[in-house]
Amino acid sequence: MDLSFGRESMTESLQRIVGAAEKRLTMPILGNARIRSSDGGGIRLDTTDLELAWRATAEGNISENVDTTVSVRKLLDIVKAAPADATVQARVEGERLTVGFGKSRFSLATLPGHDFPEWEAAEIEHWLEIPQRLLRRLIEATMFSMAQQDVRYYLQGLLLVAQGSLLRAVATDGHRLAMNEATLETTIGADQECIVPRKTVQELRRNLLDDETPVRVGFAPGQVAFDFGTARLTSKVIDGRFPDYERVIPKDLPGSLTVDREVLRQALARVAIVASDKYRGVRLMVGKDGCRLVTHNAEREEAEESLSAEYEGDDVEIGFNLNYLVDVMNAIGADRIHMALRDGNSSALIQADPADQARYVVMPMRL
């Protein structure tokens, strides 16, 4: 046999890299994984869509002359179908890859490995290390604010900023902004920042564990890399100037609203039932007596919710996109939230209560 490997190791590697395989198949080979021997031993697997690339190493044996590509999704489905303790064997026979275990045999079409696009990985000069749980939290707390199909392409990604021992994530679509940051035990040699494309952010979120296992983040001109040890995700970055997000964050807001996060989230979900499908607007009326939510639609249907809340400042009536508020409620993990307000025409600043390092800015909406 040209290859032999265990089900578990190969399944883990293929599941990690499958997201980079091109689904639209503008080039058939982009739906394949390149299979060859790894310099450090084991089986090297590569996938790319020309914008990002995965490289992983699976445990197993492989002949040095093997260099082929095969559908990554079909191979993954076959390997997953094998018994848990099975050893899968494969052989390259002309333009086919024969895969077998037990009494099962599969013959898959291949394309030559030398036709696979070579990913020109830049030399990574600056690395930082962060627990996967912490990086996952940074991404989950901000990625929902990335723009979708905006002509301002630089908004269709997540800004990563590394300064000393600080790693910051920022996303905005021009109507809202989410920012979160973490203090690390390691320090990066020189300040770095880049805009990570949406697909790379999604791939990263899909692969990050919710534990203290470290991942290394590397910065290079035009590229960013995330090294998991046995696998590395490398991506081009978006070439553009991200907005000055620090100027967007309002300061010294006189109104101070504190409310139970889950109570507010559920109230928003209820009034959303009759909210306009087009505008998704909700009006917040806050004062000494608490907080009211009011919404309506073109059929003159209305919904109203009254909430117990703590408020300091002058009465404020302000409109928001209902979905934006729900996204923030889902991103904040605390039991209570704090919303700072000025008036009906100014952006609101939302944070957990007590405040953590995540901040959310939502622009008002005319209703």
* Chain CA centroid to CA 178, Å: 13
Kindly state whether residues 98 and 155 are assigned to the same domain.
Answer: no
CA torsion sign, 191 to 240 to 158 to 120?
negative
User: What average pLDDT does this structure show over 29-33?
Assistant: 96
Domain boundary among 71, 96, 115: 115
Span of 100-109, 274-283, 329-338 with lowest mean pLDDT: 274-283
Q: Evaluate whether 209 touches 226 at the Cβ level (below 8 Å).
A: no
Whether residue 121 is contained in a domain is answered as no
User: What average pLDDT does this structure show over 304-323?
Assistant: 95
Q: Evaluate whether 317 touches 301 at the Cβ level (below 8 Å).
A: no
Condensed to tens digits (0 to 9), the pLDDT of residues 123-172 reads: 888 899 999 999 999 999 999 999 998 889 999 999 999 999 999 999 99
Kindly state whether residues 270 and 318 are assigned to the same domain.
Answer: yes
Task: Kindly indicate the confidence band of residue 306, based on its pLDDT and cuts at 50, 70 and 90.
Answer: very high
Give the total number of structural domains in the chain. Answer: 3
> Rounded to an integer, what distance in angstroms lies between the CA atom of residue 265 and that of residue 282?
13
Condensed to tens digits (0 to 9), the pLDDT of residues 76-96 reads: 999 999 999 899 999 999 899
Kindly state whether residues 221 and 146 are assigned to the same domain.
Answer: yes
Q: What would the DSSP string read from start to end of 258-282? A: EEEHHHHHHHHHHHTTTS-TTT-EE
How far CA 271 is from CA of 150, 305, 336, 338, in Å, comes to 28, 7, 20, 21
Whether residue 326 is contained in a domain is answered as yes
**CA angle in degrees (0–180, nearest 5) for 217-221-225:** 25
Task: Kindly indicate the confidence band of residue 1, based on its pLDDT and cuts at 50, 70 and 90.
Answer: low
For residue 57, what are the β-bridge partners?
44
Q: Is the pLDDT of residue 186 over 80?
A: yes
Please report, rounded to a whole number, the percentage of residues in the chain having pLDDT higher than 90.
Answer: 86
Range(s) of the domain holding residue 51 = 3-115
User: What average pLDDT does this structure show over 319-327?
Assistant: 96
User: What average pLDDT does this structure show over 32-51?
Assistant: 94
For residue 87, what are the β-bridge partners?
6
Helix (H) or strand (E) holding 129: strand 126-131
Domain boundary among 54, 84, 115: 115
Q: Evaluate whether 168 touches 160 at the Cβ level (below 8 Å).
A: yes
Condensed to tens digits (0 to 9), the pLDDT of residues 246-259 reads: 999 999 999 999 99
- How many residues can be counted in the chain? 367
Kindly state whether residues 256 and 323 are assigned to the same domain.
Answer: yes
Kindly state whether residues 162 and 208 are assigned to the same domain.
Answer: yes
Whether residue 86 is contained in a domain is answered as yes
Whether residue 367 is contained in a domain is answered as no
Condensed to tens digits (0 to 9), the pLDDT of residues 282-295 reads: 999 999 888 999 99
Kindly state whether residues 258 and 343 are assigned to the same domain.
Answer: yes
List the structure tokens of 109. Answer: 């079409």
> Rounded to an integer, what distance in angstroms lies between the CA atom of residue 316 and that of residue 182?
33
Kindly state whether residues 194 and 139 are assigned to the same domain.
Answer: yes
The β-bridge relationship of strands 214-220 and 223-227 is: antiparallel
Q: Is the pLDDT of residue 189 over 70?
A: yes
Domain of 294: which CATH number? 3.10.150.10
Find, among 38, 27, 86, the residue nearest to 66 by Cα. Answer: 38
CA torsion sign, 173 to 175 to 176 to 177?
positive
Whether residue 32 is contained in a domain is answered as yes
Kindly state whether residues 186 and 237 are assigned to the same domain.
Answer: yes
Q: Is the pLDDT of residue 311 over 90?
A: yes
Kindly state whether residues 237 and 257 are assigned to the same domain.
Answer: no
Write down the number of H helices and E strands in the chain. 7, 26
pLDDT at 279: 84
Please report, rounded to a whole number, the percentage of residues in the chain having pLDDT higher than 70.
Answer: 99
Q: Evaluate whether 222 touches 239 at the Cβ level (below 8 Å).
A: yes
Q: Is the pLDDT of residue 336 over 90?
A: yes
List the structure tokens of 236. Answer: 């081009």
How many other β-carbons are positioned within 10 Å of the β-carbon of residue 107? 11
Whether residue 327 is contained in a domain is answered as yes
Kindly state whether residues 239 and 284 are assigned to the same domain.
Answer: no
User: What average pLDDT does this structure show over 207-215?
Assistant: 96
- State the average pLDDT for the chain: 94
Kindly state whether residues 232 and 317 are assigned to the same domain.
Answer: no
pLDDT at 264: 97
For residue 91, what are the β-bridge partners?
98
pLDDT at 367: 72
Kindly state whether residues 142 and 234 are assigned to the same domain.
Answer: yes
Angle between helix axes 132-140 and 198-207 (nearest 10 degrees) is 140
Q: Is the pLDDT of residue 118 over 90?
A: no
